[in-house]
Amino acid sequence: MAVQPDMEKKGFLQTVGDAAGDVFTRITAGISPGEFRRMLRGEAPGRPNPRLKPHSDTFLLHIKPTYYHESVTRFTHTFRLGLLSTYIFLFEVITGIYLMIWYAPSPDRAYADMLYLLSNVPFGQFMRDMHRLGAELMVALVTLHMVRTYLTGSYKPPRQFTWFTGVILLVVTLFLSFSGYLLPWDQLAFWAVTIGTSMAEAVPPAVVGETVNLLARGAPDIGANGLLRFYLLHVLFLPLVLFLFFFVHYYKVVHYGISLPANEEEVGQDTANKIPADRRVYFLPDVLIDETVFLLAFTAFTVVASTFFFTAPLESIANPQVTPLHTVAPWYFYWLQGMLKIADKTIAGVVLPGVLLVLLMAIPYLDPNPSRRAKDRRVAIISGIVAGVIMIILSWMGTPQYAAQAAPAVEVVQELMPEEGAGLVREIGYSEVPLGVYDSREHPSELFEPVNCPIPVQIWSRIPVISVMLPRCEENMHDVLHEFETSIQAWQKSDPDFNNAYGILTVTQEQAQLKRLNWQVFWQDSTGLDSSFERHFFLHENSLYWEEYGFKDFSFLTESEEAEQ
Amino acid sequence: MQKRWYDFLYVKSPIVKIGLGTLAILLTLGVIALQLLMEEPRMEAQTASWEGRSIEIGADLFANNCASCHGIEGKGLQGVAPALDSRYFFSQRLNDVGFTGTQDQYIALTLHAGRPSKVDTQWANVMATWGSEFGGPLRADQIDHLVSFVMNWEETALAQTPEEDPWQFFQDALSKQLPYDPSEPGYQTKLDQAVAAAEAAGVSNYSIGGVEVQAPTADEAADAGPRDPEELFTTMACIGCHNLDQDQTPDNRGITAPNLGNLAEVAGDMVPGQDAATYVYNSIVAPNDYIVEGYLPGVMTQNFAEQMSEEEIQAMVEWLLSR
């Protein structure tokens, strides 16, 4: 491009404009500024379609189809769950690398690194919350993606192998989430993973189980070696496996096309790749805009949620000597924990999940029904729903609510002030727990009435939208005691060995800024014998406790303002 | 393609879609900017929060492991273990023992490695090695929590008047100077206590706050007359291991040494051929001659016959049996 002759011929402005347009076309791999404007206006492309060039010229776009069938681009056909699953993996990679900067996989350092990340790294807590929320969403989204595929029958020929790789991706996702669970090296992590890996021990025959367990833990119990192994699984091996199977999966998706809504083609036909010219929706610009806007909206949702409503839990440091009350697996393994409660470890922990997994992978090869229409698939859909309901019931059985209750008095105290985590008392905090001796009988549950308490978050209360979402206002000492009595009454009704019960809470000043809460529960068993339970906890003025889900406590903002004044 | 009732929800115009995407970006950036403003106070609050939780955990560990000797409120137990919620401990102790590090390091060192000395000490029990690296029961992080908890006394301890300071100055070789200003209220009381304790402990050439204390010679001690058994029970550190208020029964046994609440009833039946007075007398002057089942020989001080006069030991036996 000779500049001087051009300038003489076309003038300065024209030359600069042409050069800018040229640069734009190079960057977009073939879309001229004029074409770009036409895209934004929603105008049809010219012929031949200049918008196909980026697909052949660029690496990232060549894996995307150039056009889709109009019916599959509707949001309610796929809910874009596959795209979302892929995106959230990328999201986890980015937030995960941020966390890796401050993390060393060693029992001596891991937990201290967590505290450092939370208290000294800008955006450290934000990134950790996002990573954890993303992990839980990833499990949920991948599962929903599978449910959608099942309900629309999209696993049927020729997409059997796509489904098969999808099940592998689901398993890898579960393992990814589970292996990340151990890394903070807190009690929650340690015991959830101890329970999880102990299932590997149940693999028959005994010698195989022991070997698998030893390979996973690196020692008979989880320690330095186990943490390192889980770390390497989490950041290296499993992401690589996921990466590989993702490309196999996506290649198959593009190769066969996204299955059309069942009623748009004849039974037994697959016309996803024969898209009539008038039904084509081009990736550039329509699908690209849809997907980008959708992912941006999802990102905004995740950012808002982890800023205001989600806190990644961190309990006290892992202690192999102390098993906390109500140790639970992550929620997506509740169903497994539920099965373990009703059946033998080998059957419920290894054989049944293994059979279920093989069955899940084999569904497309076993299903003889060629139709994808709902009215032809009543058996498949109903059995799918029944399986879902069974999973929900098993999950409920996996929670501590079912068949894992401690003595009533222990549960009453655990509910208000759990051994690990927040609980009502720690949430209202030091300043809302005045010194004194409190008797639960003076706070009968029938008289329970929410009391107006001062809103702790004055900054937010000036913004009307946020003040609507502020924590419920009955969280103060008065309501703790009502809750205490209500809980005792509820246990009295359900347990014949827990009669005439009452509780005494004694709050004393242990040190400057440190209160001691002494919980006592007195009751009579069915023979009239007096019994009591006592447990003390300490509460420091500065300690903040946040529940995993719920509006975060931003009171530190007003407190630091008060300190400055 | 069939129409559905929710079709109106679909946005058709690319410009509107791009507008919505821009809004999402602005919302994301806005929330991140909001976080940026909050990061400073948030990190401060988190730092304070984890320090607070460390103190909470330390308080629990203290209640379970330390309070039995150092007192529930860290006020110490006479003859057993020194006070920790003490102005002297936070202001002067490091100088007196010649420790060049900081207070928290001193506490951490003592917790990890213990105090392996039974020489020239007024304390009945040795400080055990608590750190797991020295064979103790606590992990390093647990000791860190305990240090946080003990350090949390600093503010209130430094505000104590000399009179309120529960530290006991007696035989402790280097603490010869009271670290208080003579003009402070309570100085005289503390000085009197310290002199009385030094005299009771029988140290020589002891100078406390300018008051010279001479060890009473054997003659002088005789001149001064026998000391009160109740007072001796404390100054000889008996009280550290023997509980006078509890009975010794199979269900309720003293931990280090038998409880003495019901001594008068049981003393006569312990060793055949010895009446109550003989048994108690022998137990003081030669503790290893008869060890009650379940206790260890050599735990009790072996030279009480040298530390107390014959008359005082007899008075002690009489007092113990008459209670």
**Phi, psi of A68, rounded to the nearest 5 degrees:** -120, 165
Distance CA B169, CA A410 (A): 45
Which chain B residues contact residue A122 at CB under 8 A? Answer: 36, 39, 43
**Phi, psi of A503, rounded to the nearest 5 degrees:** -125, 150
Tell me which amino acid residue A19 is.
A
Q: How far is CA A381 from CA A151, A212, A261, A388, B166, in A?
A: 7, 37, 16, 10, 77
Instruction: Decide if B21 and A300 are in contact by the 8 Å CB cutoff.
Output: no
Contacts across the A-B interface (CB distance below 8 Å): 135
- For A518-557, b where at least 16 C-beta lie within 10 A, e where not — what string? ebbbbbeeeeeeeeebeebbbbbebbbbbbbeebbbbbbb
Helix (H) or strand (E) holding A506: strand A499-511
Inform me whether the C-beta atom of residue B29 falls under 8 Å from chain A C-beta atoms: no
Judged on CB neighbours under 10 Å (0-12, 13-18, 19+), B183 is: exposed
pLDDT at A356: 93
Instruction: Decide if A536 and B49 are in contact by the 8 Å CB cutoff.
Output: no
Which chain B residues contact residue A513 at CB under 8 A? Answer: 52, 55, 152
Q: Are residues A287 and A192 in the same domain?
A: yes
Minimum distance, in Å, between the CA of residue B253 and any CA atom of chain A? 22
Q: Are A550 and A423 within 8 A, CB to CB?
A: no
Residue A464 CB neighbour total at 10 angstroms: 8
Q: Are residues A420 and A309 in the same domain?
A: no
Residue A346 pLDDT class (50, 70, 90 cuts): confident
Q: Are residues A263 and A118 in the same domain?
A: yes
Percent of chain A past pLDDT 90, that is, above it, reads 47
B 212-271 residues inside an 8 A Cβ radius of A? none
Distance CA A245, CA B248 (A): 73
Q: Is A501 in a helix, a strand, or coil?
A: strand
Strands (E), A345-487: 436-439
Inform me whether the C-beta atom of residue B18 falls under 8 Å from chain A C-beta atoms: yes
Structure tokens belonging to residue B291: 């060890």
Tell me which amino acid residue B132 is.
S
Which has more pLDDT, A304 or B216? A304
Looking at the partner chain, which of B4, B13, B51 has a beta carbon nearest the beta carbon of A542?
A: B51
pLDDT at A462: 42
Q: Are A30 and A53 within 8 A, CB to CB?
A: yes
B 42-81 residues inside an 8 A Cβ radius of A? 42-53, 55-57, 59-60, 63, 73
Inform me whether the C-beta atom of residue A303 falls under 8 Å from chain B C-beta atoms: yes
Q: How far is CA A241 from CA A165, A173, A462, B13, in A?
A: 11, 10, 49, 40
Residue A109 pLDDT class (50, 70, 90 cuts): very high
Which chain A residues contact residue B73 at CB under 8 A? Answer: 510
Q: Are residues A522 and A556 in the same domain?
A: yes
Q: Are residues A367 and A384 in the same domain?
A: yes
| Of the candidate ranges A143-157, A271-285, B252-266, the one whose mean pLDDT is the lowest | B252-266
Q: Are A347 and A220 within 8 A, CB to CB?
A: no
Q: Are A99 and A117 within 8 A, CB to CB?
A: yes
Q: Is A564 in a helix, a strand, or coil?
A: helix
pLDDT at A448: 45
Answer with the one of A62, A93, A109 that is the final residue of a domain: A62
Looking at the partner chain, which of A42, A541, A543 has a beta carbon nearest the beta carbon of B14?
A: A42
- Kindly state the average pLDDT of the residues A517-532: 89
Q: Is A63 in a helix, a strand, or coil?
A: coil
pLDDT in tens, B121-138: 667 777 888 999 998 889
Q: Are residues A362 and A473 in the same domain?
A: no
Q: Look-up: residue for tokens 């005289």?
A: B188
A 253-282 residues inside an 8 A Cβ radius of B? 264
Domain at B225-322: CATH code: 1.10.760.10
Q: Look-up: residue for tokens 């992978």?
A: A361
Helix (H) or strand (E) holding B156: helix B154-158
Q: Are B275 and B290 within 8 A, CB to CB?
A: no
Residue A424 pLDDT class (50, 70, 90 cuts): confident
Structure tokens belonging to residue A34: 């004029």
Which chain B residues contact residue A544 at CB under 8 A? Answer: 45-46, 49
Minimum distance, in Å, between the CA of residue B162 and any CA atom of chain A? 19
Instruction: Decide if A556 and B42 are in contact by the 8 Å CB cutoff.
Output: yes
Q: What angle do CA B176, B179, B183 make, to 5 degrees?
A: 120
pLDDT at B246: 79
Residue A17 domain-assigned?
Answer: yes
pLDDT in tens, A283-318: 988 999 999 999 999 999 999 999 999 999 999 999
Q: Are residues A58 and A174 in the same domain?
A: no
Q: Are B126 and B136 within 8 A, CB to CB?
A: no
Q: What was the ipTM of the complex prediction?
A: 0.87
How many domains does chain A divide into? 3
Residue B209 pLDDT class (50, 70, 90 cuts): low
Tell me which amino acid residue B119 is.
V
Inform me whether the C-beta atom of residue B152 falls under 8 Å from chain A C-beta atoms: yes
Instruction: Decide if B43 and A554 are in contact by the 8 Å CB cutoff.
Output: no
Distance CA A396, CA A380 (A): 24
Residue A320 domain-assigned?
Answer: yes
Residue A403 domain-assigned?
Answer: no
For residue A50, give its domain range.
3-62
Structure tokens belonging to residue B247: 């009975």
Residue A18 domain-assigned?
Answer: yes
Structure tokens belonging to residue B192: 């009197």
Q: Are residues A281 and A325 in the same domain?
A: yes
pLDDT at A87: 97
Answer with the one of A41, A62, A83 that is the final residue of a domain: A62
The residue of chain A with its CA nearest to that of B24 is A297
Sign, CA torsion A214/A217/A218/A222: negative
Q: Where are the domains of chain B?
A: 70-213, 225-322
pLDDT in tens, A443-488: 765 544 444 444 444 444 444 444 444 444 445 787 788 888 888 8
Which has more pLDDT, B8 or A65? A65
- Kindly state the average pLDDT of the residues A126-152: 96
Of A473, A408, A486, A411, the residue nearest A443 (C-alpha) = A486
Which chain B residues contact residue A289 at CB under 8 A? Answer: 14, 17-18, 21
Inform me whether the C-beta atom of residue B149 falls under 8 Å from chain A C-beta atoms: yes
| Of the candidate ranges A91-95, A105-109, B134-138, the one whose mean pLDDT is the lowest | B134-138
Distance CA B300, CA B288 (A): 8
Residue A169 pLDDT class (50, 70, 90 cuts): very high
Residue A133 pLDDT class (50, 70, 90 cuts): very high
Distance CA B307, CA B291 (A): 21
Distance CA A382, CA A377 (A): 8
Q: What is the residue-wise DSSP string for A532-547?
A: EEEEEEEEETT-----
Q: Are residues A330 and A353 in the same domain?
A: yes
pLDDT in tens, B61-88: 999 888 888 888 888 887 778 889 998 8
Which chain A residues contact residue B52 at CB under 8 A? Answer: 513, 540-543
Which pairing describes strands A530-540 and B211-213: parallel, antiparallel, or unpaired? Answer: unpaired
pLDDT at B299: 66
Judged on CB neighbours under 10 Å (0-12, 13-18, 19+), B103 is: middle
- Kindly state the average pLDDT of the residues A191-195: 88
Q: Are residues A353 and A442 in the same domain?
A: no
Helix (H) or strand (E) holding A500: strand A499-511
Which has more pLDDT, B307 or B266? B266
Judged on CB neighbours under 10 Å (0-12, 13-18, 19+), A454 is: exposed
Q: What is the residue-wise DSSP string for B186-228?
A: THHHHHHHHHHHHHHHT-SSEEETTEEEPPPPHHHHHHH-PPP
Instruction: Decide if A560 and B56 are in contact by the 8 Å CB cutoff.
Output: no
Distance CA A57, CA A59 (A): 7
Instruction: Decide if B14 and A40 are in contact by the 8 Å CB cutoff.
Output: yes
Of A416, A420, A406, A453, the residue nearest A438 (C-alpha) = A416
Instruction: Decide if A75 and B10 are in contact by the 8 Å CB cutoff.
Output: yes
Which chain B residues contact residue A70 at CB under 8 A? Answer: 1
- Kindly state the average pLDDT of the residues A51-76: 90
Q: Are residues A494 and A360 in the same domain?
A: no
Mean pLDDT of chain A: 87
Residue A83 pLDDT class (50, 70, 90 cuts): very high
| Of the candidate ranges A67-81, A335-349, B287-301, the one whose mean pLDDT is the lowest | B287-301
Structure tokens belonging to residue A357: 């997994």
Looking at the partner chain, which of A125, A512, A516 has a beta carbon nearest the beta carbon of B152?
A: A512
For residue B86, what are the contacts with CB-CB under 8 A and spacing of at least 6? B74, B75, B76, B157, B160, B165, B166, B167
Q: Are residues A18 and A84 in the same domain?
A: no
